[in-house]
Chains A and B, each alone.
Chain A
Amino acid sequence: MVAAIRHRKSAVRRVLHVAWLAFLCAALLGVFTPVLAQQAEGSPAPEMPAPEMPAPEMPVPDAADAADAAPAPDTQALDEEVQLLKKDAVDLNRELFMLEEELLFPANTQVAVFLSMDVGEFFALDSVQLKINGREVGNYLYTQREAEALLKGGVHRVYLGNLKVGEHELVAIFTGKGPNEREYRRGASTRFAKAVGAKYLELKITDRQLRGQPEFEIKDWE
């Protein structure tokens, strides 16, 4: 009787051991499978030497035969279709952009601030900081390419936002290199009245030849 109980106990213990080992194996597989998969994904497949196979003997067709056999694909029509699709995508993108602007910045409250430069002999623009009613609304750092584009007649929209109808104050702080490569920091400010309708302001940087200094002004586009 005692022997039978002992035998049963040892059998139960073995079953438990086997179950425990099976669980551990499953857990280990669970842990290492993603690692192995990741390694396989990340590392390039080893280059295997291509087995040397005898090339099958193929009859060499004549050039004239080949030209007759290969049908000329209608690539031109396909290309035109692709171009049309691209144009449609660009048009759609533009319309979406305009719609977004109309929704985010309705004409009634819209205020836009642009920056332009003329000549630039006495001033090399580095950055501009904008404050409306004492709150910083924009800070833009110009690269050499952007500054060159401005000098060629480009106009940069520095800020686009919304303002209530009424009196407001705009302050622009310009930093850059002034005459004789000196660090230059100047400000310009204006008070403007925002009515119903979009408001456009332009920050203009021009050279004042007589004084040999740059000039900063804010123009209100009525």
Chain B
Amino acid sequence: MFRSQPLALTLLLVAGAVIHALDASAAERHALIGKPAPDFALRSAAGPNLRLSEQRGDVVVLSFWSSRCNTCRLQLAELDRLYATYRPAGFVVFGIGVDDDAARAVEFVRAQGASFPMLFDPAKQIARSFDIDNLPMLVAIDRFGVVRLVRRDDRRSGVAEYTAALRRLLDE
């Protein structure tokens, strides 16, 4: 029994290291957090061009998606529910598609049926300026235009967490 203890503890240590690594990635340390969000203007699927800096005073959430990403659909659906609830409190959501294929992106937008504006970034300039390295990826910007939250984690369990974070931003 005494001999197997170090082995068990070593396994525990390895498990701890793995959990720590996973948690660190979920904690979303991002270079843009605390910095002003890069401004952009993009064409929307139905409607006028939209510029980020014109939303100053509202809490803005950018959700980067691609038509090939199934988890993006879930995140966009969740954001649609939040948008319906918090829109009167100054909550704005932009879905930003990074598809090369415009027709496919338009089809995705039509199928998704989101009530918030869906924008297209086929050149991926905006995605690059926000250091997007995962899809879906969510960026929350406060009323002063500062990036406050970046979320790469698409687990369903994380929805309550970022909803609480968005509520805090809306309360500020």
Interface residues of A, Cβ cutoff 8 Å to B: 17, 20-21, 24, 27-28, 31-32, 34-35, 38, 42, 44, 126-127, 140-146
A17:B23 contact, CB within 8 angstroms: no
- Choice from B16, B17, B54 contacting A145 with Cβ under 8 Å: B54
A20 CA / B10 CA spacing, docked (Å): 10
Which of B45-53, B63-71, B94-102 binds A? B45-53
A17:B9 contact, CB within 8 angstroms: no
Residue of B whose beta carbon sits closest to that of A14: B2
Cβ contacts under 8 Å, B48 to chain A = 143-144
A145 CA / B51 CA spacing, docked (Å): 10
A127 CA / B2 CA spacing, docked (Å): 75
B43:A24 contact, CB within 8 angstroms: no
Residues of B1-48 whose CB lies within 8 A of A: 2, 5-6, 9-10, 12-13, 16-17, 19-20, 23, 27, 41-43, 48
Residue pairs across A and B with Cβ atoms less than 8 A apart, 22 shown, are A17-B6, A20-B6, A21-B5, A21-B9, A24-B9, A24-B13, A27-B13, A28-B13, A31-B13, A31-B16, A34-B20, A35-B20, A35-B23, A38-B27, A126-B49, A127-B49, A140-B41, A141-B43, A141-B51, A142-B41, A144-B49, A146-B51
A141:B20 contact, CB within 8 angstroms: no
B42:A141 contact, CB within 8 angstroms: yes
Interface residues of B, Cβ cutoff 8 Å to A: 2, 5-6, 9-10, 12-13, 16-17, 19-20, 23, 27, 41-43, 48-51, 54, 164
B20:A32 contact, CB within 8 angstroms: yes
A65 CA / B56 CA spacing, docked (Å): 46
Cβ contacts under 8 Å, B43 to chain A = 141
Residue of B whose beta carbon sits closest to that of A39: B23
A31:B41 contact, CB within 8 angstroms: no
A100 CA / B165 CA spacing, docked (Å): 38
B13:A143 contact, CB within 8 angstroms: no
CB distance from B132 to the nearest CB of A (A): 20
